[in-house]
């Protein structure tokens, strides 16, 4: 009998096994996910658009391949979803902004094309902070996204829709993007696993850019092995992306298997003192220190570290990312993209002028405009050396701190977020407090490291807490080995939010 009633509870690898054993079909799983998303997402707000026609066509093609004995691998037929700043041929792609409302790209991002080549079924596009600028998904121009653990709280951001959809079991996994923690922080707040690969490990071709020297595409899923499975599909060199590295990729599932089999014995875990300071929620600190102690109890060696230039990370990050955003978003001028106004509505000023005014006034939301103005100021004559150039020097010092640290340890363990999920609207009036939500994640992007967040406990209020692990550049196998080893020990593994636990079959 088909296990259709519980399909949404399956991990990506679990669903892959059911498909391989013929216990369900991709079409059945896809219909189940689509129906569930239609119902559950009314209050959750994780999706900006579903693509039932395209998803079911892909599912039927997958089933036909399996019947012919031509399955493309474990992802063939597995329903996934995409953050809406990854372009998909023929499917509306907005980056969460009114500027791109209705735009249908003529091509696929490389990461999207690689998922399609692996046979994955793409359900639709996921909610995000506008142009990935935010830590709560509250700056989306289209709808509020909520946390499945508490609908009055944020899911984190900017990949909040991806984290919420995975946590609420609307899809088996998702692709997000991480500029300063935008995969790991929402993964922490929603109680799922989020992996930010090394800079250059995954092609950025077809990613709508925010900050080009920081952005990286990565997976969110319910287990470390699921993230490894998605990374296997999307990692590797791409000649269309000048920042894509030619380093060998792969072996990620094997690394997870090794971590589960061997545990953390012999693993050197760095614990930086700068990540456990005033301002961290006591419950977060206790949960993360408990996770580190659990690794030590199973044979890991703890190494005390100092990353002295961490104190410059927030300032350096927000200067660099806003400067790059100012450059990247200059193309959205109201002519090639933006809100269009008829000649009659334009009046004597003419259509072109009205289009440009509409785009400036209503196309971008306040957070995007704030960051463009900050970046333009930082790059302006007389201020470039005082701000942007100094930020880049601080970035170099932060990277050197990590290089010295990884000479002494294999991975670094820290909190992912200083607090559990906060209330909707709580930080909207204070941008600086919102920016500090990324305080533990941004150094990873500045240094180009791989990082992962995985659940390590719940607060007294029943909200997830995340453990962040970092590894040296391009050492995803070591990172995944350590994450899988901890996941096997963690009491938080397999916890489900109320919104998922209370829902039956679609």
Residue 83 sits in a domain of what CATH number? 3.90.1300.10
Supply the pLDDT for residue 503: 55
User: How far lies 259's CA from each of 110, 237, 256, 294, 391, in Å?
Assistant: 30, 26, 5, 14, 37
Q: Which residues are catalytic?
A: 83, 158, 182
Residue 341 resides in a domain:
no
Q: Is the pLDDT of residue 475 over 80?
A: yes
Residue 280 resides in a domain = yes
pLDDT tops 90 at residue 68? yes
Mean pLDDT (the chain, rounded): 93
Tell me whether residue 348 is in a domain: no
Looking at the domain assignment, is residue 214 inside a domain? yes
Pairing state between β 411-415 and 268-272: parallel
Q: What is the CA radius of gyration of the chain?
A: 22
* Least confident among 214-218, 361-365, 418-422, 475-479: 361-365
**Number of independent structural domains in the chain:** 1
- The answer, yes or no, to whether residue 505 has pLDDT greater than 70, is no
Q: Which pLDDT band holds residue 354 (cuts at 50, 70, 90)?
A: very low
pLDDT for 6 equals: 85
pLDDT of residue 187: 98
pLDDT digits (tens, 9 = 90+) for 429-454: 888 788 888 999 999 999 999 999 99
Q: What pLDDT was estimated at residue 213?
A: 97
The arithmetic mean of pLDDT across residues 135-144, rounded, is 96
The verdict on residue 174 lying in a domain is yes
With respect to residue 53, please indicate whether it lies within any of the assigned structural domains: yes
**Residue 147 tokens, joined:** 């946390």
- Sheet arrangement for strand 216-221: 47-50, 121-126, 79-83, 173-178, 216-221, 193-196, 451-458, 464-471, 411-415, 268-272, 301-305
pLDDT at position 435 is 81
The answer on pLDDT for 506 being more than 80 is: no
**Secondary structure of residue 246 in the 3-state scheme:** coil
Average pLDDT over residues 192-206: 98
Domain extent for 147 = 4-307+404-495
Could you report the per-residue pLDDT of 264-285, keeping only the tens digit for each? 999 999 999 999 988 899 999 9
SS3 106: coil
- Residues 364-377 have pLDDT tens digits of 999 999 999 999 99
Residue 339 is predicted with a pLDDT of 55
HSE, side-chain direction, 13 A CA sphere, residue 425: 2
End-to-end CA distance of the chain: 17
- Span 50-73, mean pLDDT? 98
**Residue 85 CB neighbours (<10 A):** 32
pTM > 0.85:
yes
Over residues 375-409, the pLDDT tens digits come to 999 998 788 888 999 999 999 999 999 999 999 99
**Domain-located, residue 502:** no
Is 245 within the bounds of a domain? Answer: yes
Q: What sections of 90-183 are H helices per DSSP?
A: 110-117, 160-167
Neighbours of 368 (CB within 10 A): 26
Burial tier of 337 (Cβ tally within 10 Å: 0-12, 13-18, 19+): middle
């Amino acid at each position: 009998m088909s296990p259709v009633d519980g399909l949404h509870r399956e991990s990506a690898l679990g669903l892959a096994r059911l498909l391989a054993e013929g216990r369900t079909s991709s079409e059945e799983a896809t219909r189940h996910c689509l129906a569930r998303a239609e119902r559950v997402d009314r209050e959750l707000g994780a999706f900006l658009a579903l693509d039932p026609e395209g998803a079911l066509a892909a599912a039927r093609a997958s089933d036909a391949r399996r019947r012919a004995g031509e399955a493309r691998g474990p992802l063939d037929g597995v329903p996934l979803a995409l953050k809406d700043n990854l372009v998909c041929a023929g499917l509306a792609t907005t980056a969460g902004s009114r500027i791109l409302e209705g735009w249908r790209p003529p091509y696929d991002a490389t990461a999207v094309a690689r998922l399609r080549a692996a046979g994955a079924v793409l359900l639709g596009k996921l909610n995000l902070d506008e142009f990935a600028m935010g830590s709560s998904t509250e700056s989306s121009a289209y709808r509020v996204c909520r946390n499945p653990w508490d609908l009055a709280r944020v899911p984190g951001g900017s990949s909040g829709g991806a984290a919420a959809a995975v946590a609420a079991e609307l899809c088996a996994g998702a692709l997000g993007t991480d500029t300063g923690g935008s995969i790991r922080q929402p993964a922490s707040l929603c109680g799922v696993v989020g992996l930010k690969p090394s800079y250059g490990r995954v092609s950025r071709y077809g990613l709508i850019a925010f900050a080009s020297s920081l952005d990286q595409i990565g997976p969110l899923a319910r287990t470390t092995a699921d993230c490894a499975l998605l990374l296997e599909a999307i990692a590797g060199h791409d000649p269309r992306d000048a920042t894509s590295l030619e380093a060998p990729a792969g072996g990620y599932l094997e690394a997870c298997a090794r971590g589960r089999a061997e545990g953390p014995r012999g693993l050197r875990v760095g614990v930086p003192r700068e990540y456990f300071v005033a301002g961290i929620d006591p419950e977060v600190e206790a949960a993360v220190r408990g996770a580190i102690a659990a690794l030590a109890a199973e044979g890991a060696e703890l190494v005390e570290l100092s990353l002295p230039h961490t104190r410059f990370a927030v300032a350096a990050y927000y200067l660099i990312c806003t400067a790059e955003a100012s450059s990247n978003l200059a193309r959205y001028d109201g002519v090639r993209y933006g809100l269009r106004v008829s000649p009659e509505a334009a009046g004597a000023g003419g259509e072109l002028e009205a289009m440009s005014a509409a785009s400036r006034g209503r196309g971008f939301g306040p957070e995007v405009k704030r960051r463009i103005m900050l970046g333009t100021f930082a790059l302006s004559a007389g201020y470039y050396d005082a701000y942007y150039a100094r930020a880049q020097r601080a970035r170099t010092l932060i990277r050197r701190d990590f290089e010295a640290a990884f000479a002494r340890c294999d991975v670094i363990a820290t909190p992912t977020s200083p607090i559990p999920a906060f209330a909707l609207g709580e930080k909207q009036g204070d941008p600086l407090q919102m920016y500090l939500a990324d305080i533990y994640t941004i150094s990873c992007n500045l240094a180009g490291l791989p990082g992962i967040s995985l659940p390590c406990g719940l607060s007294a209020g029943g909200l997830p807490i995340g453990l962040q692990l970092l590894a040296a550049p391009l050492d995803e196998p070591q990172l995944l080995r350590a994450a899988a080893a901890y996941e096997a020990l963690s009491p938080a593994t397999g916890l489900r939010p109320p919104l998922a636990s209370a829902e039956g079959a679609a």
